[in-house]
Amino acid sequence: MQLGMKDRLQRAYNSRILQLAMKEDLEKRIHTLAEWLYESRHLVVFTGAGISTESGLPDFRGPDGVWTRRDKGLSPKPMGRSWDSVEPNSGHIAIVDLQKAGKLKFLISQNVDNLHLKSGINPDLLAELHGNMTKLRCTKCGKEVDRSGGKTICGCGGRLASSVVDFGEPLPENDLRLSFEHSRKSDLLVVIGSSLVVTPAADMPMEALRSDAKLVIMNQGETPFDQHAHLRFNEAIGDVLPRAVKRLKRLMGLFE
Ligand SMILES: [Zn+2]
């Protein structure tokens, strides 16, 4: 069916209006997030694989995710380059800016890609629930050392093994305890790039909500917590977080 000129113009007009409305709504949500960051006294950020896709790493449940592909009988998309060449992206950098502004009280990550530490996050503010592929952990005292050092035995005499947690293995005790503590203390929990379907990931928003914290979810794809989120972003992380942090810095009187 051929659309008349008037109909075509009407359609174009409607879609343009919709686009503008969505853009305006995004601006408003970014604005709100910046204000909440500004007001927060105990900001906790939680990240999953989704924050690293913009650095070229595969996620799990996204359109090209490891599990999405597995469900279709496909193997993970090959990365085509070495891990060392993977760099933090604007999302990681924005979290470092939150740290520099004194706003970030704790960062919990499910990622093993080392990009938070590589971007400059203070190790004392970071829990890596699934370990870190560049680090070994002592099986006796739990101390972490860089894999690049080539050591196999810890100073305490314990054996050094991969710090990356496999399915069914216990999570690092100290990281887990700190994650629970800070989620409980938080007044604002910002989830970035996690579908929150596995525990203990799903426990953190639960703890935060119990403490009456505001919950912000930035994830492309549904999460079981969507109806509890006070603010929800389905947009690309790089289109949201850096802009919210920039606005926060302006509110705080900090300039580049
Ligand atoms: Zn040890």
**How far does the centroid of ligand 1 lie from the alpha carbon of residue 153, in Å?**
8
129: CA distance to ligand 1 center in Å? 19
Answer yes or no: do 76 and 93 share one domain: yes
The residue to which tokens 């193997």 are assigned: 75
Q: Is 1 part of a structural domain of the chain?
A: no
First to last CA, the chain: 55
Please report the pLDDT score of residue 148 as a whole number: 87
Say if 3 falls within a structural domain.
no
Q: Are 38 and 99 members of one domain?
A: yes
Measured CA to CA, the distance from residue 67 to residue 62 in angstroms comes to 8
- List helix spans (H) across the chain: 5-39, 66-71, 90-100, 115-119, 173-185, 203-210, 241-251
pLDDT at 3: 65
**Whether 125 and 146 share a structural domain:** no
Which positions are catalytic?
Answer: 130
Q: What pLDDT sits at residue 189? A: 98
- Overall domain count for the chain: 2
Assess if residue 11 is contained within a domain.
no
Both 103 and 201 in one domain: the answer is yes
Residues 59 and 146 in one domain: no
Alpha-carbon distance of 223 to 190, in angstroms, equals 13
pLDDT for 79: 62
Q: What is the pTM of this model?
A: 0.86
17 domain-assigned: no
What is the reported pLDDT for 19? 74
Query: In the prediction, which pLDDT does 71 show?
Result: 74
179 alpha carbon – ligand 1 mean position (Å): 22
Pair (98, 175) in one structural domain: yes
Cis bond before residue 123 (omega within 30° of 0): no
Q: Provide the pLDDT for residue 67.
A: 67
Residue 113 CA to ligand 1 center (angstroms) comes to: 23
Q: Which residues contact 69 (CB under 8 A, 6 or more apart)?
A: 75, 76, 77
Residues 6+ apart with CB under 8 A from 36: 188, 214, 216, 231
Domain shared by 150 and 54, yes or no: no
Same domain, 121 and 247: yes
* Rounded Cα gap, residues 163 and 139, in angstroms: 9
Domain boundary among 147, 164, 181: 164
How many angstroms separate the alpha carbon of residue 159 from the centre of ligand 1? 7
Q: What percent of the chain has pLDDT over 70?
A: 91
How large is the greatest C-alpha to C-alpha distance in the chain, in angstroms? Answer: 81
* pLDDT value for 239: 95
- Owning domain of residue 143: 135-164
Q: Say how many Å lie between the CA of residue 154 and the centre of ligand 1.
A: 5
Q: What are the residue ranges in the chain where pLDDT is below 70?
A: 1-3, 59-67, 76-83, 256
Residue 203 placed within a domain: yes
Residues 227 and 100 in one domain: yes
Per the domain annotation, does 141 fall within a domain?
A: yes
Statement to judge: residues 94 and 122 lie in one domain: yes
- Domain boundary among the residues 115, 143, 164 is at 164
Judgement on whether residues 32 and 151 belong to the same structural domain of the protein: no
Gap from CA of 144 to ligand 1 centroid (Å): 8
Enclosing H/E stretch for 219: none
The answer to whether position 13 is within a domain reads no
Name the domain boundary from 111, 145, 164. 164
pLDDT at 201: 84
CATH number at residue 118: 3.40.50.1220
Are 145 and 71 members of one domain? no
Give the pLDDT confidence score for residue 78 in this predicted structure. Answer: 62
Q: Distance between CA atoms of 46 and 121, rounded to whole angstroms?
A: 13
CA–centroid distance, 47 to ligand 1, in Å, is 28
Instruction: Please tell me the distance between residue 151's alpha carbon and the centre of ligand 1 in angstroms.
Output: 12
Specify the pLDDT at position 13: 76
- One DSSP character per residue, 86-149 reads ----HHHHHHHHHHHTT-EEEEEE---S-HHHHHT--GGGEEETT--TTEEEETTT--EEEGGG
Identify whether 150 is part of a domain. Answer: yes
